[in-house]
Amino acid sequence: PSVLDSFALLSGQLNTLNKVLKHEKTPLLRNQVIIPLVLSPDRDEEIMRQTEGRVPVFSHEVVPDHLRTKPDPEVEEQEKQLITDAARISPDVAQKQIQSLNKMCSNLLEKISKEERESESGGLRQNKQTFNPADTNALVAAVAFGKGLSNRRPPGSGGSVQSGQAGAGAIIAGASGMQQVPMSAAPAQQQPMLAGVQMAQAGQPGK
């Protein structure tokens, strides 16, 4: 009920205003000139509130733009020229031009939407992860520090695994933070290489 009462009140006020404006004794508003009474370069909070923050000051610089009722003379000339050119075109030619323009706009919109879809799908493909970080970390820890590797020795040999070259063995031992134990003085017959690592003979101490 309160909304209906407010609406009825507003409707009555608008009807009264329309009657006043349409009265023959009421001068046309287009013939009235608005002149500023107060111009100030200082910030006006009331104008800021009324214009929702768009006009902070009402000075000599902004008054000609905000109180302008006609476009610039150059814009008026261009508008007149466009109106004259439009009046010369027949309705059939105008309809054909409208259809051609609509077709061009439709094709352009389709291309833009297609490129957007392709870019979104390409971004999804690029952002898709192709590896498992947990597996990678486990492999790095196993190679660098021997984490998770079994301590059992291969069957038929009492020794442990040693590197194929002494220099490489020292680097690997240093990287893993372990101390390298010197091998026995008796040179042993080399075992077949398997993935760059050779097996020690039985009886040789491990690292």
- 3 state DSSP class of 47: helix
Going by pLDDT thresholds of 50, 70 and 90, the confidence category of residue 186 is very low
Mean pLDDT on 126-150: 81
Residue 99 has pLDDT above 90, yes or no: yes
Contacting residues for 200 by C-beta, under 8 A, at least 6 apart:
157, 159, 160, 161, 162, 183, 188, 191, 206
Mean pLDDT on 93-104: 93
- For residue 127, the number of C-alpha atoms closer than 13 Å in the C-beta half-sphere is 6
β-pairing, 161-163 vs 197-199, is antiparallel
Helix, strand, coil percentages, rounded to 5, for the chain: 55, 5, 40
Q: What is the pTM of this model?
A: 0.27
| pLDDT (0 to 100) of residue 22 | 86
| pLDDT (0 to 100) of residue 44 | 87
Could you tell me the residue ranges of all domains in the chain? Answer: 71-119
